[in-house]
Amino acid sequence: METLAQRLAAGDDLQLIDVREPDELALASLPRFVNLPLSQFGVWGDTIHSQLEADKETAVLCHHGMRSAQMCAWLAQQGFTNLHNISGGIDAYSTVVDRSVPRY
């Protein structure tokens, strides 16, 4: 988790995906993350390769790490090769890294 924070602060060139719902993002979010809610998979699923680069390092975030794990598994099936599930999600980020990020 601290490594993610360091890489975000350094501006590292990562693809950052948040799979939470828009109402969850309204409660707590991190900069630079693109919102691709799993519930709206039908809207964005067919265009994933035009939105993201399959071989670029990609970090996926949700609330606790379950939905992001599902997304990582699906992205791997689509040929994405450098995936990181942010285990513990934004909840862990707010407790371990930045307490100013609200918990919900």
Residues marked active site are found at 62
In this structure, what token pair is assigned to residue 47? Answer: 């265009």
| Cross-strand partners of 1 | none
Taking CA atoms, 90 is separated from 5, 6, 10, 15, 101, in Å, by: 11, 15, 19, 16, 8
